[in-house]
Amino acid sequence: MHNKNQYLQEELLRTSGVNPKKCMRCGKCSATCPAYDEMEYHPHQFVNMVESGDIEPLLNSKSLYRCLSCFACIDRCPRGVEPAKLVEAVRLAAIRKQGANHLKADDVPAMLDDDIPQQALVSAFRKYAK
Partner 1 sequence: MKVSYFPGCTLKTKAKELDAYARKCAEVLGVTLEEIEDWQCCGGVFSTSRDEVATKLSSVRALKAANDKEQPLVTVCSACHNVIKQTNHQVQTDAEFADKVNRYMAPEAPYSGETAVYHYLEMLRDLVGFDKIKEKVVNPQTGKKIAAYYGCLLLRPNKVMQMDDPENPSIIEDFIRAIGAQPVIYASRNECCGGYVTMESPELAKKKSNAVTGNAAAAGAEMMVTACPLCRYNLVKNGSEIPVVYFTELLAEALGVKEDTNA
Residues that bind partner 1 (CB under 8 A): 14-17, 34-35, 38, 65-66, 68-72, 74-75, 82, 84-85, 88-89, 92, 103, 108, 111, 113, 115-124, 126-128
Taking the complex as a whole, the smallest distance from the CB of residue 6 to partner 1 amounts, in Å, to 18
Nearer to partner 1, 45 or 63 (CB): 63
Nearer to partner 1, 2 or 128 (CB): 128
Nearer to partner 1, 1 or 8 (CB): 8
Closest among 57, 121, 79, 34 to 45, alpha carbons compared: 57
Query: What size, in residues, is the chain?
Result: 130
Taking the complex as a whole, the smallest distance from the CB of residue 98 to partner 1 amounts, in Å, to 18
Burial of 60 (0-12, 13-18, 19+ CB in 10 A): exposed
Taking the complex as a whole, the smallest distance from the CB of residue 70 to partner 1 amounts, in Å, to 4
Taking the complex as a whole, the smallest distance from the CB of residue 55 to partner 1 amounts, in Å, to 16
- Reduced 3-state DSSP string for 24-48: CCCCHHHHHCCCHHHCCCCHHHHHH
In angstroms, rounded to a whole number, what is the distance separating the alpha carbons of residues 11 and 61? 19
- Count of CB atoms situated within 10 Å of the CB of 97: 10
Nearer to partner 1, 27 or 34 (CB): 34
